[in-house]
């Protein structure tokens, strides 16, 4: 099937009478990678995406000036993004009873909400229940990769062998050496920008040219080096030198990535459709079915093996079956867990692949909120410079609990930050007064600020979990997830340390600290949910083996973030793709040998 | 243009411009859509006092801030928002009558400045409706002005949102 043909008639084209070699549920980073690897191995793959395919370039309009938009980038009346105080005061489902026409997660409230209104899900159609959680979802071809934050980091054996290091939780069934070749493949195939630092806890990638630092960032980098800490240019999943891919351009430093909730209309930033799915379609081995909401893994009652997926058409609400020899879930950490739990049968009364009872459990992510803002005095009144023409500012890798042992908490956190001029002088909001003096003060200070916020590892705990709500259903009649998830003492202590350490670092650099934020953002805010179907060697305490293959059902794989054993403090997307590549290579080998 | 090949430029341009963008100008309200002419005049004047024209750049009036605010309120989904504006303007007018026995616009520039200074003094902890209105109009003025052509280009002299074909701007991490 060609791309052109798909565009003409996406749904009707798909042949559901045949049995595919594999069906993949979800088209984000994990599903796109599964499609890429399996089709390049010659397997015939059906890719199901719950959302639609939208003309994303028209949606993102990366270089549109605010004043060329009728509402300066804001969504039309009737669209509402859930605010921090709503998340903290109310309980899910947050859109219940809302008078607004459409309700979005908090990401819809960032500058430029009009550019994501067709990317984020409408919370009214997609409720969830239970404890507070800021769940951000994007249902469309490519999922959240269309707007992801682009920070592309590797994990290390401090993560994979965390238990060996500090005694907590479980080690992963793999080590860095197992995954390193696949990180390399991801780097080369998709492109990554960064600067080599030779840190054992944050391994370098095969970098294309790095983004540059601003004056304030250089100042902080020099100062932190003397403390044995690092400020490195944002390691971006963005091709700065170009890759062999006709659907993508290299990055021209236009900088819209920081001005909006994300997204790149020339696809220099990785997104799954242009990076993985379109090239996979060009092999002739990939069939795409959009508007296909998977709701059950079908089981062959004779063999106990998976035989396909039952899905609901998002538009006509009818149910269809897709048949395949191998079933691969890549619907996201929470949606894949939901799908496993929904797949109840005589053989699998607790949901398929869930003999351990661990599906939905060991749910973890990153805690964020605490951060610092500083004023670099010598930059006040400086001539404006081009500071935001890049996919991100800087990253301060983890420095806690590596050689040292913190008294209050285990594991670590890193900081993401930025400094310098941007399109909107945010300091105007906090500049008192009015008139000529106010105006001049805003102008003089616009490029003199530096800010950074922490991202910390949330410990994987069995007690943090999701299950199916026995009553509430989504707009398609499918039971929704119910959250039982809260930060614990380790996260709270770590967050106190984040704020203090941030302040200390700015002060040490001779930067005036003008703001210390200690507020912990609502659970889910990092959009890094992980761990609901973890890998492990023991089928009693884990859901998947080291190849993300179900311990219970050998032709069932779950290749997204749900397989992660611990959250690390490093952003997960690059690891999700490296793991999926490794597992799908193994899968294709096993398939060819007839072992699935 | 050293490492920018023709193919790459074309690729970037066609990806970004796959479909001609519909450019819609910010509403230039000849007659206001929500405000009465008197309310509009007050908002226009007060916003321009908050961000006035100076040697560097035009102010809020030149940037069409009042027209932008008016257009947003005219289409607001939450109806208490426009009502809050109307009540705030009323409170400012009442204060103007109380201290100057004139409407805000009928007052002298010195009297307007005195009034604005008075309601701005409590910025960090506003109590009266007039004081709360200052925060409201200042916030809206900031939002509209710094996203306007004048705000971005003339005042901030923003250097970004450009194609950098060669080396990126900034410093190496050495």
Shortest distance, CA A341 to any CA of chain B (angstroms): 39
Residue A458 is given by DSSP the state: P
Lookup: tokens for A550: 């179900």
Decide: helix, strand or coil at residue A163: helix
Q: Report d(CA A466, CA A42) in Å as an integer.
A: 36
Spacing of C-alpha B23 from chain mean position: 19
Note which residues in 82-101 of chain A have CB less than 8 A from chain B: 100-101
CA separation for the pair A137, A49 (Å, rounded): 13
From chain B, the residues in CB contact with A109 under 8 A are none
> Is there a contact between A265 and B15 if contact means CB atoms under 8 Å apart?
yes
Q: Average per-residue pLDDT in chain A?
A: 96
Question: What pLDDT shows up at residue B24?
Answer: 35
Give the helix ranges, DSSP H, for A473-592.
Answer: 489-508, 573-592
What percent of chain A has a predicted confidence (pLDDT) above 90? 95
Q: How many CA atoms lie within 13 A of A28 on its CB side?
A: 28
Residue of B174 and A174 predicted with greater confidence: A174
Q: What is the pLDDT of residue A11?
A: 61
Integer angstrom CA distances of residue A416 from A70, A202, A234:
32, 14, 8
Task: Write the CB contacts of B106 (distance below 8 Å, at least 6 apart in sequence).
Answer: none
Q: CB contact, 8 Å: B170 with chain A? A: yes
What 8-state DSSP symbol labels residue B68?
H
Which pLDDT does position A183 carry in this prediction? 98
Mutation target for A interface from B144, B158, B162, B166: give the one with most A CBs within 10 A.
B158
Q: How far is residue A268 from each of residues A66, A120, A129, A151, A575, measured CA to CA in Å?
A: 22, 21, 37, 14, 19
pLDDT for residue A512: 98
Cβ atoms of residues A209 and B172 within 8 Å: no
Distance from CA of A421 to the nearest CA of B (A): 8
Q: In A, residues 377-396, which contact B (CB 8 Å cutoff)?
A: 384-390
Q: Could you tell me if A213 lies within 8 Å of chain B, comparing CB atoms?
A: yes
Work out the minimum CA distance from B146 to partner chain A, whole angstroms. Answer: 6
Rounded distance between C-alpha atoms, residue A391 and residue A388, angstroms = 8
pLDDT digits (tens, 9 = 90+) for A29-45: 999 999 999 999 999 99
Q: What is the DSSP string of A3-55?
A: HHHHHH-TTTT---SSEEEEEEE--SHHHHHHHHHHHHTT--EEEE-SSB---
Q: Which of residues 462-491 of A touch B (CB under 8 A)?
A: none
Tokens 């009364």 belong to which residue?
Answer: A349
CB contact under 8 A, B8 and A440: no
pLDDT beyond 70 at A508 = yes
| A253 token code pair | 């430093």
Which among B11, B13, B135, B132 is positioned nearest to A430, based on CA atoms? B135
Q: Do residues B119 and B133 lie in contact, with contact meaning Cβ atoms separated by under 8 Å? A: yes
Q: Compute CA distances A182 → A262, A267, A572, whole Å.
A: 26, 22, 14
Query: Do the beta carbons of residue B132 and residue B88 sit within 8 Å?
Result: yes
Of A58, A64, A252, the CB nearest to B12: A252
| Closest residue, chain A, to B113 (C-alpha) | A435
Chain B, nearest residue to A420 by Cα:
B170
Which residue in the set B15, B59, B146 is minimally distant from A428, CB to CB?
B146
Which candidate from B8, B26, B68 shows the least CB-CB separation from A250?
B8
Contact of A443 with chain B, judged by CB distance below 8 Å, is answered with yes
Residue B68 has a pLDDT of 97
Do the Cβ atoms of B169 and A440 come within 8 Å? Answer: no
**Look-up of token digits 């007659």:** B31
Backbone angles phi, psi at A360, to 5 degrees: 95, -20
The answer to whether the CB of B65 falls within 8 A of the CB of B148 is yes
Q: Does A434 touch chain B (CB under 8 A)?
A: yes
Residue A467, classed as helix, strand or coil, is strand
| ipTM above threshold 0.90 | yes
Q: Give the residue from chain A lying closest to B169, CA to CA.
A: A386
Whether A389 sits inside 8 A of B75 (CB atoms) is no
The residue ranges of DSSP E strands in A122-212, in sequence order, are 129-130
Chain A residues touching B77 at Cβ < 8 A: 77-80, 100-101
Alpha-carbon gap, residue A487 to A520, rounded angstroms:
10
Q: Which residues of B touch A266 (CB under 8 A)?
A: 11-12, 15-16
Q: How far apart are CA A73 and CA A112, in angstroms?
A: 4
Confidence of residue A12 (pLDDT cuts 50, 70, 90): low
Cβ contacts below 8 Å, chain A against chain B, sum to 180
B171: chain A residues, CB-CB within 8 Å: 212-215, 217-218
At residue A205, the pLDDT reads: 98
Confidence of residue A406 (pLDDT cuts 50, 70, 90): very high
A164: Cβ–Cβ under 8 A, 6 or more apart, which residues?
A171
Question: Alpha-carbon Rg of chain B, whole angstroms?
Answer: 21
Per-residue pLDDT of chain B (174 residues; tens, 9 = 90+): 333 343 443 344 444 433 333 333 333 446 999 999 999 999 999 999 999 999 999 999 999 999 999 999 999 999 999 999 999 999 999 999 999 999 999 999 999 999 999 999 999 999 999 999 999 999 999 999 999 999 999 999 999 999 999 999 999 998
Write out chain A residues lying below 8 Å of B7, CB-based: none
């Amino acid at each position: 099937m060609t791309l052109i043909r798909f565009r003409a008639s996406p749904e009707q084209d798909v042949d559901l009478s045949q049995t595919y070699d594999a069906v993949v549920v979800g088209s984000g980073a994990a599903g796109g990678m599964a499609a890429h690897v399996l089709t390049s191995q010659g397997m015939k793959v059906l890719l199901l995406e719950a959302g639609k395919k939208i003309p994303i370039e028209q949606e993102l309009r990366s270089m549109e000036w605010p004043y060329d938009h009728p509402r300066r980038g804001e969504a039309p009346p009737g669209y509402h993004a859930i605010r921090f105080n709503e998340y903290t005061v109310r309980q899910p489902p947050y859109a219940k009873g809302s008078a607004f026409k459409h309700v979005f997660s908090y990401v819809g409230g960032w500058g430029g909400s009009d550019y994501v209104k067709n990317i984020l899900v409408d919370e009214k159609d997609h409720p969830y229940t239970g404890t507070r959680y800021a769940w951000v979802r994007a249902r469309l071809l490519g999922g959240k990769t269309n707007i992801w934050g682009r920070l592309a980091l590797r994990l290390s054996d401090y993560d994979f062998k965390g238990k060996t290091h500090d005694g907590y939780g479980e080690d992963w069934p793999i080590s860095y050496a197992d995954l390193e070749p696949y990180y390399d493949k991801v780097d080369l195939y998709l492109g990554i920008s960064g600067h080599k630092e030779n840190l054992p806890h944050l391994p370098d990638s095969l970098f294309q040219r790095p983004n540059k630092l601003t004056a304030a960032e250089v100042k902080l980098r020099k100062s932190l080096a003397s403390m044995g800490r690092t400020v490195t240019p944002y390691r971006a999943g963005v091709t700065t030198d170009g890759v062999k891919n006709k659907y993508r351009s290299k990055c021209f430093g236009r900088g819209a990535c920081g001005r909006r909730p994300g997204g790149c209309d020339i696809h220099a930033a990785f997104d799954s459709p242009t990076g993985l799915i379109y090239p996979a379609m060009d092999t002739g081995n990939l069939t795409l079915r959009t508007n296909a909401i998977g709701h059950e893994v079908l089981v062959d009652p004779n063999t106990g093996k998976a035989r396909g997926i039952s899905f609901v058409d998002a538009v006509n609400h009818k149910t269809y079956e897709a048949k395949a020899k191998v079933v691969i879930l890549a619907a996201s950490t929470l949606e894949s867990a939901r799908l496993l739990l929904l797949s109840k049968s005589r053989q699998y009364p607790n949901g398929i692949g869930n003999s351990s009872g661990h599906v939905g459990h060991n749910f973890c992510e990153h805690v964020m909120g605490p951060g610092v803002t500083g004023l670099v005095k010598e930059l006040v009144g400086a001539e404006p410079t081009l500071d935001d023409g890049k996919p991100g500012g800087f990253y301060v890798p983890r420095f806690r609990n590596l050689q040292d042992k913190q008294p209050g908490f285990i594991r670590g956190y890193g900081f993401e930050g930025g400094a310098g001029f941007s399109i909107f002088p945010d300091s105007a909001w906090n500049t008192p007064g009015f008139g000529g003096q106010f105006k001049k003060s805003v102008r003089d200070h616009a490029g003199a600020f530096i800010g950074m916020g922490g991202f910390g590892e949330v410990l994987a705990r069995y007690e943090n979990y999701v299950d199916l709500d026995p009553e509430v259903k989504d707009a398609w009649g499918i039971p929704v997830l119910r959250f039982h998830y809260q930060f614990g003492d380790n996260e709270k202590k770590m967050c106190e340390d984040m704020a203090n350490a941030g302040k200390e670092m700015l002060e040490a650099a001779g930067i005036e600290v003008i703001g210390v934020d200690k507020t912990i953002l609502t659970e889910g805010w990092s959009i890094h949910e992980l761990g609901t179907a973890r890998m492990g060697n023991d089928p009693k305490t884990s859901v998947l083996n080291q190849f993300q293959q179900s311990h219970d059902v050998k032709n069932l794989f779950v290749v997204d973030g749900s397989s992660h054993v611990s959250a690390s403090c490093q952003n997960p997307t690059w690891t999700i793709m490296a793991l999926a590549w490794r597992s799908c290579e193994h899968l294709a080998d096993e398939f060819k040998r007839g072992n699935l | 243009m050293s490492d920018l090949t023709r193919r790459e430029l074309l690729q970037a341009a066609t990806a970004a411009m796959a479909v001609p963008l519909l450019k819609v100008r910010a509403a230039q309200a000849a007659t206001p859509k929500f405000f009465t002419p008197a309310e509009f005049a007050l908002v226009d004047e007060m916003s321009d006092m908050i961000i006035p024209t100076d040697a560097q750049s035009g102010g809020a009036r030149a940037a069409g801030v009042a027209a932008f605010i008016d257009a947003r309120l005219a289409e607001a989904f939450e109806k208490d928002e426009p009502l809050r504006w109307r009540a705030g303007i009323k409170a400012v007018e009442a204060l103007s009558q109380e201290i100057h026995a004139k409407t805000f616009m009928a007052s002298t520039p010195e009297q307007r400045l005195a009034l604005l200074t008075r309601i701005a003094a409590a910025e960090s902890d506003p109590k009266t409706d007039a004081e709360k209105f200052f925060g409201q109009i200042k916030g809206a003025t900031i939002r509209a002005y710094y996203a306007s052509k004048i705000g971005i280009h003339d005042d901030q002299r923003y250097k970004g949102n450009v194609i950098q074909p060669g080396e990126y701007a900034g410093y190496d991490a050495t």
